[in-house]
Copies of this chain bind each other. A is one copy, B any other.
Amino acid sequence: MVPGTRLGTRTLFHHWISPSARKVRLALHEKRIDVQEHVQADWERDEAFLALNPAGEVPVLLEPNGVIISDGQTICEYLEEICPDTPLLPGNIFHRAEARRLTAWFDHKFQREVTIPLVSEKLMRRVLGRGSPDSRNIRAGRTNIHMHLAYITWLTERRKWLAGDNMTLADLTAAAHLSLVDYTGDVPWDEHPFARNWYARIKSRPCFRTLLADVVPGVPPARHYADLDF
């Protein structure tokens, strides 16, 4: 029996500062799938957790039947298959590819260029007590974020949501990453009003409430973090 779990319960192993876990939490709530959340500090060696996911990373979904699903995007594809009634990927094959392309954009490109330089430096270092952030990384992340917010603007000037007429996993993924950067107060919303409008729409959805209540121990959020009128 894995510590922190109950047999017959769906359990998500996550951590507040994992963008991939945030995306899965948004998808679960959007699809109204009940889940017990278990906070896992995945940078600490934990044999029971490694037995669940040898990659040693959150998120991990433990299903009521004992099946383990890990890797954020894999979990989202799985949730889409078990719960297609609230779709997060469009029905049209080309639109679905577009939603997956933008999901990968934020999970990999945004992650590499913004989330890691900013969030790893500011949040992870404080959580781990590893001293002051490296100002070169902070500067790089703060420069790079403008290109991504401009891309969100470009997309939402042409479409209602990032990948088309409906909200998709691409929006949830972008918002999961941005919510973390926003926690540290590093999103220059004032310079990107269209991107802010898009984020305000997604931030006001019921699925977002769980993220807005997050408080990373020892690191309070920026003042406007949970404010729907930011």
Binding site for B on A (CB under 8 A): 54-55, 67, 69-71, 73-75, 77-78, 81-82, 93-94, 96-97, 100-101, 104-105, 109, 151
CA distance A94 to B75 in the complex (A): 11
CA distance A70 to B70 in the complex (A): 24
Q: If A109-B55, A151-B54 touch, does A101 touch B74 (CB 8 Å cutoff)?
A: yes
What is the copy number of this chain in the assembly?
2
Interchain residue pairs with CB less than 8 A apart (21)? A54-B151, A55-B109, A67-B94, A69-B97, A69-B101, A71-B100, A71-B101, A71-B104, A73-B73, A73-B100, A74-B97, A74-B100, A75-B97, A77-B100, A78-B93, A78-B96, A78-B97, A78-B100, A81-B93, A81-B96, A82-B93
Q: Which one of A67, A69, A70, A74 has the highest number of Cβ atoms from chain B below 10 Å of its Cβ? A: A74
Contact between B77 and A97, CB atoms less than 8 A apart: yes
Q: State the Cβ distance, A84 to closest chain B Cβ, in Å.
A: 12
Known: A73-B73, A78-B93. 8 other contacts (CB 8 A): A54-B151, A55-B109, A71-B100, A71-B101, A73-B104, A74-B100, A78-B100, A81-B96
Q: State the Cβ distance, A75 to closest chain B Cβ, in Å.
A: 8
| A74, closest chain B residue (CB) | B100
Q: State the Cβ distance, A162 to closest chain B Cβ, in Å.
A: 13
CA distance A69 to B94 in the complex (A): 8
CA distance A94 to B78 in the complex (A): 8
Contact between A104 and B74, CB atoms less than 8 A apart: yes
| A82, closest chain B residue (CB) | B93
Residues of B within 8 A of A67 (CB): 94, 97
Residues of B within 8 A of A94 (CB): 67, 69
| A99, closest chain B residue (CB) | B74
Q: State the Cβ distance, A147 to closest chain B Cβ, in Å.
A: 10
Which of B55, B82, B96 lies in contact with A105, CB distance below 8 A?
A: B55
| A54, closest chain B residue (CB) | B151
Which of B70, B100, B109 lies in contact with A101, CB distance below 8 A?
A: B70
